[in-house]
Structure 1
Amino acid sequence: MPASYARPELLASPDWLAEHLGRPGIRAVDCRHRVDGSARQLYALGHIPGAVFVDWAHELVDGDDPLPYQLVGPDAFAAVMSRAGIGDGMTAVLYDDATSHYAARVWWSLQAYGFEGVRILDGGWTAWQASGRPISASGSGSEVEPATFTPRANPARLMSTGDVRALLGSRAVDLIDVRGPAEFHGQGGNALRLGHIPGAMNVPAALLTETGSQRFVSAERAAALFTDAGASRSRRAVTYDGAGIAAAKAAFVLNLLGYTDVAVYDAGWAEWGSRMDLPVDR
């Protein structure tokens, strides 16, 4: 596990998870995702023993919102958590097989509803398999007792388009675009308009994990990526990407580094880049 992070308790190593699996109040959560909907089948074929599967892209997303991947409301969110056996006072350990993009999205979703007991498995499913530890293939999955999850909305974690527009030009906020450089500079993308929000800095989320191991980069490397781009712990950080997934990963790393005021603009470029009334830079 990367050393020297200000908040290492946000991460779990395979060793830590193996030691704590099965203890009361610990719930491993499989957050893997496939666009074709096959992630549940992957879970059935093999997962961390005792882990529950959360189909976050459907269960934790508002299907009635025209924008992609917008967070579902509190009652629906609480119902999913309750069925998954994730309740008040527990610790959820999240993992995926995609450099923690999806695990971080679920982490941020839990944070948005006031749930603090969350860790991400460093290296995810890849690290667990590489450790040689047991894998369960329980077909339909692990049976868990429903839990009581009380949603407590945390508006400081979430920014709307109106919120971001009101912050343009503010010296108290760092707006961080975590897409790749080509999209940031308007040289690619699939939105109506190309470029970035005026005043934003570019820290690609892809640089925050190691390519091979899928573990998070060292604290020194992560801190340099943000500070070299111009970010400061003394200011509020607002991350965005296309639709709030990679942005959640960047927000997670900022929390690891000790940034205390971090929000995600989850509508991101999906909304900003589709509106002709909003300013765009390249």
Structure 2
Amino acid sequence: MHGRPLLLRMTPDSASDDGDVDDDPDDGSADDARDEREPDPASTRRGLLRAAAGATVAGAASTAGCLGVSTPADVAARYEVSGNVAHFVGPSWLADNRGDVVVLDARNAERFREERIYGARRVPFDAITGRESSGAGLVPDVEAIAAAFGEVGVSPDDDVLVYGASVGSRVTRTAFALAALGHGGSIRALNGGLSGWNGRLGTGSRDRVTPTEYDPDPAESAWVTRDWLADRLGTFNGEGPGLVDVRAPEAYLGAPAADALNPDNDRHGHLPGAIGVHWVGNVSGRRMTDPGELVGLYENRAELDRSGTVVVYGDDNVDPTSTWLTLRAIGFEDVRVYDGGFGEWANVEGDRGRYPVETATSVVIETEGSVGGDDSSGDFSCTG
């Protein structure tokens, strides 16, 4: 299907997904460093764009409060969503439906305390990335994930909107975690993140919520296991499922001494038959990339079948969810996450012949993207 490698031309606006570790102790490993880290001018591999709108953040209070600054209407208008796009909505949608949805903040605890959409709740990020072993490999720990959502009062039938600093992978992982539970209510993400919201804000410690018992109905079709993939080697992106590696091209190619390589992995490269489409192509600053461009990227250039099964994976189980939600938003019917990730595949114990790693055959689809999200910027209204 793909005759020869298409090597990526990197641009100064491209962003890597090897970031600083979040200093929030309950937020897991890399957390939202992809959304919140500062640009590194010494390297085009870390050229994250900062959003144009800016403001000084009011100091956090010890109890819930409200900030008295306002966002110009044109700033909010930048993040409206039009066309046949699922899951992503703009600020006006939230303003119209604010009383009918549970709003979840996907950022770290410090950012949440500084400012948040009024009434938003926060789920500890390490809880919703939890995995457990099955006979076939690592899978989402649905009991732990359900308990985390229940602790902040989310019920299985609630309509939920998730926001962050942008539409980066923390937001999409939160959405995926709900989908993995078989969540019965709708799941949406706020385009533009907090910077586009010109309604009421809260600050300080979290608002009181009543915990609930979240009884999950696991949607096992949302993910695949290591053995599911091993059983289908040789079929990907041909007559079988589409398989997409969302990591930086250097990691996908196993480029020697590249910064993008995870030093904890015993082997480097990619799963045989996978194509490389770096996940940051899904994001333009704080918003999703233009849907028409995304269709061109995934359906035309990557030649993925929107009516077939598509599996996405990365080094962990966070970044792939960006591509998972993006593909669902533009109409792909069956998109699944390999929750074990390349880290599980590369470090598997025992017979590694069943789980080979490939570097010789490589297909990299060029992407251009930038992940915004410096949470110290953005003007907001407390009265909207």
Q: TM-score, normalised by structure 1?
A: 0.86
> In 2 relative to 1, CA 62–256 (structure 1 residues): closer, same or farther, beyond 3 Å?
closer
Match of 1:161?
Answer: 226
Residue among 318, 333, 339 paired with 1:245: 318
* Contact 2:165–2:195, Cα closer than 8 Å, also in 1: yes
- In the alignment, does 2:146 pair up with 1:73? no
Considering only CA atoms, is the larger Rg found in Structure 1 or Structure 2? 2
Match of 1:235?
Answer: 308
Match of 2:293?
Answer: 221
> Aligned ranges for residues 1-282 of structure 1 at < 5 Å?
1-5=80-84, 7-8=85-86, 10-21=87-98, 23-24=99-100, 26-32=101-107, 39-57=108-126, 59-62=127-130, 71-74=140-143, 76-116=144-184, 117-128=186-197, 132-137=198-203, 139-170=204-235, 171-187=239-255, 188=258, 189-190=261-262, 191-211=265-285, 214-227=286-299, 228-275=301-348, 276-277=352-353, 278-282=355-359
> In 2 relative to 1, CA 50–204 (structure 1 residues): closer, same or farther, beyond 3 Å?
same
The superposition leaves residues 167-223 of structure 1 with CA deviations (integer Å, 9 ceiling, x where unpaired) of: 212222000111111111111311221111110011111010103xx1101111111
Percent identity over the alignment?
A: 25
Aligned pairs, how many? 261
Q: Secondary structure at the match of 1:271?
A: helix
Q: Secondary structure at the match of 1:242?
A: coil
Could you tell me how far 1:255 is from its partner in structure 2? 0.5
Match of 1:35?
Answer: none
Determine which structure has the larger helix proportion and give its number.
1
Q: Secondary structure at the match of 1:28?
A: strand
Moved over 4 A (4+): none
Could you tell me how far 1:53 is from its partner in structure 2? 0.9
* Contact 1:100–1:123, Cα closer than 8 Å, also in 2: no
* Contact 2:142–2:216, Cα closer than 8 Å, also in 1: no
Q: Secondary structure at the match of 2:173?
A: helix
Mean Cα deviation higher: 234-243 or 187-196:
187-196
* Contact 2:102–2:160, Cα closer than 8 Å, also in 1: yes
> In 2 relative to 1, CA 207–50 (structure 1 residues): closer, same or farther, beyond 3 Å?
same
> In 2 relative to 1, CA 64–150 (structure 1 residues): closer, same or farther, beyond 3 Å?
closer
* Contact 1:2–1:217, Cα closer than 8 Å, also in 2: no
Which segments of 5 or more consecutive residues in structure 2 lack a partner in the other structure? 1-79, 360-384
Letter in structure 2 aligned against 1:81: F
Could you tell me how far 1:84 is from its partner in structure 2? 1.2
Could you tell me how far 1:96 is from its partner in structure 2? 1.4
Superposition CA RMSD, Å: 1.9
* Contact 2:129–2:173, Cα closer than 8 Å, also in 1: no
Could you tell me how far 1:88 is from its partner in structure 2? 2.6
Could you tell me how far 1:55 is from its partner in structure 2? 1.0
* Contact 1:2–1:219, Cα closer than 8 Å, also in 2: no
Provide the rounded CA distance (Å) in 1 between the counterparts of 2:141 and 2:317. Answer: 13
